Amino acid sequence: MRVLITGGAGFIGSHLAEALLANGHSVSILDDLSTGTLDNLDTTVRHPLLEFLEATILDRVVVRSQVSTCDYVVHLAAAVGVQTILHKPLASLKTNVEGCENVLDACREFGRPVLLASTSEIYGKNETDSLCEDADSVIGSSSIDRWSYATAKKLDEFLGLAYHGTHGLPVTITRFFNIVGPRQSARYGMVLPAFVRAALVNEPIRIFGDGRQTRNFTYIDDCIDALLRLLRNPVAAGKVINIGGSEEVSIRELAKRVRLAAGSASPIVKVPYREAYPQGNFEDMRRRVPCICRIEALTGWRPATDLTTIIQNTIAHERAQGCPESIPAPGPTPGMLV
């Protein structure tokens, strides 16, 4: 099987490419390297079954050409990260909506099944104890740029399901809950690598708000296992499927656990949102916990990596990479110790 991965030079895409190649599949990667990097493909770029093309999913001609030569499409390319969305709102919307439509239209033309990557962000401010795929989206005001990402990805889901219902296109939609692990960049506001890199050089670990907001983190190996199972499962077509970890943790507790695991002397400091985002176009959600009953029923998948191991593996990876990259402060240097 030949699989096209849009965004294949990114964090998740590069790991998926490795796994597919290891299983004997051919892989084509389409990536404009706006957030991905060729460094992520160091172990695969010379593989005889891998082809890489630097191009954008906004180029309909290129997308059509790439889709025509593959058997399956995994659409991961997107504008990602809070900082990207806040600083480039229009470009992010075009990439996430127009790019998705280009991919879906090409898949319809050539009859290629497609997996669309969505996000737990679409649940917005819904704080239900266990968010199933049919739970409501509670999205904030359109004056808050943060919600443009959730809205765009929800529209992508509607498009995918409409192509499935109207054209019979096999479309599977996955909602990722905070995928973490080696190669994830802190550059776009990703919390765990930012905490780890700060801890390793004894710099302040910055948490936004009061730190009591909770999340579930999913290790990259578990995520790839879930994706491979779904790619092999035609029954998943037409469905939206959560992929998420099993342990809920507050951001404050996560910072403490990272500091302890790294043997760090870093102070943990709270950064008020008004300082982290002085432009005032950000709003956070207090809680986001996934229900994973659907994917378990379809494939038997459950996350295998606990949070302690996730933190240890991320620290080990960053240490193996040498001196961590410097992470710029998100705003004025705070002085409130936790």
Q: Decide: 270 and 210 in contact? Cβ < 8 Å.
A: yes
How many whole angstroms separate alpha carbon 303 and alpha carbon 99? 30
How many whole angstroms separate alpha carbon 283 and alpha carbon 280? 8
Tell me which amino acid residue 45 is: V
53, containing H or E segment: strand 50-54
* Catalytic residue (one of 72, 123, 149, 277): 149
- From residue 242, how far is each of 122, 175, 180, 206 by CA, in Å? 11, 5, 15, 29
Q: Is residue 301 classed as helix, strand or coil in its secondary structure?
A: coil
Catalytic residue flag (residue 277): no
Q: Decide: 238 and 169 in contact? Cβ < 8 Å.
A: no
Helices assigned H by DSSP within 232-328: 251-262, 273-276, 293-299, 307-320
How many whole angstroms separate alpha carbon 207 and alpha carbon 188? 15
Active-site amino acid positions: 149
